[in-house]
Copies of this chain bind each other. A is one copy, B any other.
Amino acid sequence: MIERPLLVNVVLFRLADETLQVLLASPVQAWELPGSELGSQEGLEHAAERAIAALLDRPKTYLEQLFTYGAENQAPVCVVYFAIIPAEAGLVPGKPVRWTPVWQAPSLAHEHAEILAYALRRLRYKLEYTAVGFQLLPAEFTLSELQHTYEIILDEKLDKRNFRRRMLQSGIIEVTSHLRTGEGRPARLYRYRPDAVAEVKARRLFP
């Protein structure tokens, strides 16, 4: 049976410093997405997690397969995953990697620019129609923080009243008894309800 080299690449996102960031690697010279070879008996997801564990000191909070690239004459077939990383995760020392705001990514090797653009599109879709947004935040958060997250990723300003109304009506979050105090009036903290089915009930374009 014919065999082919197989690579697993990961697009790692995090939210930090008021921006959406992606982890880029520069093992030789050009920048590219981190990845690792698939072991001869290894599962795909396992390889993705191994690639992440090699770079970061915290596990990912969300992992999803994106797409598999394998053009003609292109030696390795690449299975691409994307993952969301807690902002608190630290880099393993000595690795040639860097968190970069996605809007300022340098040009990338291979097809990686295209892959990053696709991953970003998918993240936005997910954000709008499912509950991935919560993966980017700590366990408890204020509605303002949540809205801020959405605004950063969607790169658009949202109306505060409408945001709150829909977010609460969806039943996907619940109030806690805690408050976050700071400047100005303290804010109620909310918590994601993993039990609430985040079913995407969108309007059909075609009936």
On A, residues with C-beta under 8 Å from B are 1-6, 37-44, 46, 65, 67-74, 76-77, 79, 127-131, 133, 150, 158-159, 162-163, 166-167, 170, 172, 198, 200-207
Chain B residues closer than 8 Å to A2, beta-carbon distance:
5-6, 37-40
Q: How many copies does the complex hold?
A: 2
Q: How far is the CB of A141 from chain B (nearest CB, A)?
A: 14
CA distance A79 to B4 in the complex (A): 13
- From B71, B76, B172, B205, A170 is in contact (CB under 8 Å) with B205
Q: Are A167 and B206 neighbours in the complex by a CB distance under 8 Å? A: yes
CB-based nearest B residue for A128: B204
Known: A4-B6, A44-B77. Is A150-B68 also a contact (CB below 8 A)?
no
How long is the Cα–Cα vector from A170 to B206 in the complex, in angstroms? Answer: 8
**Bound-complex Cα distance A75 to B178 (A):** 51
Given A2-B6, A4-B4, A172-B206, output 14 extra A-B contacts at Cβ < 8 Å.
A3-B3, A3-B4, A3-B40, A4-B38, A38-B70, A41-B72, A43-B70, A65-B68, A128-B204, A128-B205, A128-B206, A129-B204, A129-B206, A170-B206
Q: Which B residues are in CB contact (< 8 Å) with A159? A: 207
Most B CB within 10 A of own CB, among A1, A40, A41, A207: A207
